[in-house]
Amino acid sequence: MPGSIQSIERAAAILRLLAAAPSPLRLTEISSSIQLSRGTVHGILRTLGDVGFVDQDRVTGRYLIGEGLAALGGRHVDPNELRARCMNWADPLAARSGEAVRVAVLEGGDARVVHYVFRPDHSSQKGDVGALLPGHATALGKVLLAFHPAAAQTLTDPTLTRYTPRTITSRSLLVGELTQIRRQGYAVDRGERQLDLAGLAAPLTGLGGLVVGTIGIHGAVDRICDPAGAPRPRLLALVQECARTIGRELTTSRT
C-alpha cells in the first residue's frame, strides 16, 4: 500500500495552524511553527491560495483561512484522541523518570492538561487533568507558545502574571526564550510557577510537522535540574525520546 504524501501532510499542517490562529500569520511565523523553510512554505501557501483554501491580506501580507476551506468546515485536534495516543507512553515515562507526567494542548495562550500520570512513589498527590496552566510560566506552556507564534503575539507585559521571583514577566524576554525553545526542541521552567517545582517538556509533532501538544515531567527543582539550572541529561533524554515515540504514533493512521 502506498505511503502518505508528504506535501499533503504539510499543507494540512499549515491549514490547521491557520485555523487555530487568533489572527492572520506571517510567512515567517508559519515556517517557524512547522519547522520548514520559507521557500517551501511559500510554495504550499501559493498552491492553497490558488484553490481558495488560503487568503493573503493585500495590505499586511499575512495569511488566513480562505473562504473555500471555511465552506467545507474544519476540525481541530481532538484532545481526547491525543490523550489516547499518549497513554501507552506516558506511564512508562513516569516509571523511568520517577516524576509526574502531564500531556497538554494549547488553549489561548495557556496549556490545558489533558492527561496526568502520578509520580510512582506512592506519596500523596493530586492530579490536575483539565487544569489551565499559564503559558509563560510552565515548561508545557512555553513549548506550545514556541511552536504557535500567533498565540504568543496575544501576550503583553501586563498579561504575564508574576507567580514567583523567577517568572518571566517581560514579553521581549519571553519571545527570546521561545526562539531558543524552537531551536533546542524542549523547554524548562525552574521555579517559575512554584518556587520549589521545575518542569521539563518537549513538543508532540503530528502530521506535516505541526505541533499538536506537549508532554513533560514536573517535580522538585533539584531532581529535574542540576545546580546550574540545566535539565538533567538523563531526564531530558527520556522526555525527548517519549515525545518522538508519541510523534510516530500520531503520524500513523488508525484503521
The per-residue pLDDT for range 157-214, each reduced to its tens digit, is 888 999 999 999 999 999 999 999 999 999 999 999 999 999 999 999 887 788 889 9
Helical ranges in 63-195 per DSSP H: 67-70, 79-97, 139-146, 149-153, 171-184
Tell me whether residue 149 is in a domain.
yes
Q: Are residues 153 and 56 in the same domain?
A: no
Confidence of residue 52 (pLDDT cuts 50, 70, 90): confident
Candidates 135, 245, 130, 153; CA nearest to 199 is: 135
Q: Where are the beta strands (DSSP E) in the chain?
A: 54-56, 63-65, 100-107, 110-117, 132-133, 187-190, 197-205, 211-220
Write the CB contacts of 238 (distance below 8 Å, at least 6 apart in sequence).
93, 96, 97, 217
**CA torsion, points 245, 252, 106, 14, in degrees to nearest 10?**
120
Report pLDDT for 1: 42
Residue range 4-33, pLDDT digits in tens? 678 888 888 888 888 777 778 889 989 988
Q: Which residue's C-alpha cell is 481532538?
A: 78
Angle between helices 233-250 and 79-97 (to 10 degrees): 150
Residue after which a domain boundary falls, among 70, 90, 112: 70
Residue after which a domain boundary falls, among 70, 92, 110: 70
Q: Are residues 43 and 118 in the same domain?
A: no
Number of C-alpha atoms within 13 angstroms, CB side, residue 117?
24
How close are the terminal C-alpha atoms of the chain, in Å?
Answer: 13
Q: What is the identity of the amino acid at 213?
A: G
| Structural domain boundaries, residue 30 | 6-70
Using a 10 angstrom Cβ sphere, with 0-12 exposed, 13-18 middle and 19 or more buried, the burial of residue 156 is exposed
Tell me whether residue 255 is in a domain.
no
Report pLDDT for 181: 95
Q: Are residues 62 and 133 in the same domain?
A: no
Residue range 115-154, pLDDT digits in tens? 999 888 777 667 677 888 999 999 999 999 999 877 777 7
Confidence of residue 255 (pLDDT cuts 50, 70, 90): very low
User: What is the rounded average pLDDT of the residues 34-51?
Assistant: 88
Question: CA–CA distance from 158 to each of 5, 161, 193 (Å)?
Answer: 44, 7, 17
Candidates 162, 234, 213; CA nearest to 191 is: 162
Q: pTM for this structure? A: 0.72
Tell me whether residue 244 is in a domain.
yes
**Number of structural domains the chain divides into:** 2
Contact 100, 125 (CB under 8 A): yes
Residue after which a domain boundary falls, among 70, 89, 113: 70
Confidence of residue 68 (pLDDT cuts 50, 70, 90): low
Specify the higher pLDDT residue, 191 or 250: 191
Please give the grid coordinates belonging to residue 43: 510554495
Residue range 143-159, pLDDT digits in tens? 999 998 777 777 788 88
